[in-house]
Amino acid sequence: MRYEIKGEPMPVALVYLEGGESVMCQKGAMSWMTPNMKMATGTGGIGKAFSKMFSGESMFQNTYTSEGGPGMIAFASSVPGSIIPFDIGQGDMIVQKGGYLASEPSVEFSVAFQKKLGAGFFGGEGFIMQRLHGKGIALVEIDGYVVEYDLQAGQQMLIDTGYLAAMTGTCSMDIQTVKGVGNVLFGGEGLFNTVVTGPGKIYLQTMPISQLAGAVASVIPRS
């Protein structure tokens, strides 16, 4: 599978397949394609279906196969942002729910839970994420501009919930309560932050879709 990513701030991933090659994607992700691409819809099994559902993805996935020769299929981003390719064969990746766009069929899915379930239930977007493992290239959608950090062993980053887009599977993640009643009531930062501990790489996004939706809603006139 070859690919190229074009455009800012609304990028599109163009995937080029040889005859007989396939690409897997989230339900409804296809934007345009050559006529020789054949679609097949499935769940990948009950276990995978529920894993995808809990991590914010559709239970169904589409697989497109190029028939009779080379083909092309495009996957456009749904919000202004970035599309990042990850080589899952180099190690597991944990990505935000709803972030998966497309991949080679050899990429597999499972749910990545927080260690502290009690805190996680109140931690919002950072609680349930999606683990990508197996082999192959996965294309992940990130909201806004992406900022990358390499964390050393034991090094931490404190992140406002929702801004963590992805991290390598070697990182660990936890939820931390914001300290101080005044900070919680008047600080405007919510009750929880996400703490990521290295070693590993993290990918932060500058405009989570929840923040974008809030900003748009604040300027819509109310009747």
Tell me the two tokens of residue 145: 């501009």
192: which strand partners? 177
Indicate whether 218 pLDDT > 50. yes
Q: Which residues contact 168 (CB under 8 A, 6 or more apart)?
A: 91, 92, 93, 94, 200, 201, 202
| pTM for the full predicted model | 0.82
pLDDT at 120: 47
Average pLDDT over the chain reads 84
- Helix, strand, or coil here: 189? coil
Look at the alpha carbons of 201, 82, 80, 29 in this order and tell me if their dihedral is positive or negative.
Answer: negative
At 121, the amino acid letter reads: F
Residue 110: count other Cβ atoms within 10 Å of its Cβ.
Answer: 18
- For 12-26, the pLDDT digits (tens) are 999 999 999 999 998
Confidence of residue 115 (pLDDT cuts 50, 70, 90): low
Average pLDDT value for residue range 88-107: 94
Residue 25: count other Cβ atoms within 10 Å of its Cβ.
Answer: 21
Tell me the two tokens of residue 37: 């691409």
Contact at 8 Å (CB) between 112 and 172? no
pLDDT at 185: 43
- For 134-185, the pLDDT digits (tens) are 999 999 999 999 999 999 999 999 998 789 999 999 999 888 877 654 444 4
Burial environment of residue 91 by CB neighbours within 10 A (0 to 12, 13 to 18, 19 or more) = middle
Contact at 8 Å (CB) between 172 and 153? no
At 173, the amino acid letter reads: M
Task: Give domain 2-216's CATH architecture.
Answer: 4-Layer Sandwich (3.60)
pLDDT at 180: 53
State how far Cα 93 lies from the chain centre.
10
154: which strand partners? none
CA distances 186 to 162, 212, 218, Å, are 20, 21, 19
Q: In the chain, which ranges are E strands?
A: 2-6, 12-17, 22-26, 30-33, 37-42, 61-66, 71-76, 81-87, 93-96, 100-103, 107-112, 129-134, 137-143, 146-151, 156-160, 164-168, 172-177, 192-197, 200-205
